[in-house]
Amino acid sequence: MTYSFDQFCADCRDALKADPGPGGHDKVRRNLEKLLDDPDFIAAECGPDAKPGIRTIYKDPDTDFNVLIHIYEGGKKGPPHDHGKSWAVYGQAAEWTDMTLWKRKDDGSKEGFADLNKEKTFRLTPGAAGKFEVGDIHSIHFPDGAKFVRVTGTDLDAIPTNRFDLDKKAVNVGSRLQ
Q: Are 130 and 90 in contact (CB under 8 A)?
A: yes
**CB burial class (10 A; 0-12, 13-18, 19+) of residue 72?**
buried
CA nearest 67: which of 175, 156, 144? 156
Q: What is the pLDDT of residue 178?
A: 43
Domain range spanning residue 60? Answer: 5-174
CA angle 144–145–149, rounded 5-degree value = 120
Tally of domains within the chain: 1
Q: Are 50 and 117 in contact (CB under 8 A)?
A: no
Q: Residue 124's domain is classified under what CATH number? A: 2.60.120.10
Torsion of CA 29, 176, 20, 60, to 10 degrees: -90
Q: Are 171 and 102 in contact (CB under 8 A)?
A: no
pTM score = 0.94
Distance, CA of 178 to CA of 150 (rounded, Å): 9
Block means of pLDDT (10 residues each) for the chain, 178 residues, are 92 98 98 97 95 97 98 96 96 98 95 96 98 97 98 95 95 65
Q: Are 111 and 59 in contact (CB under 8 A)?
A: no
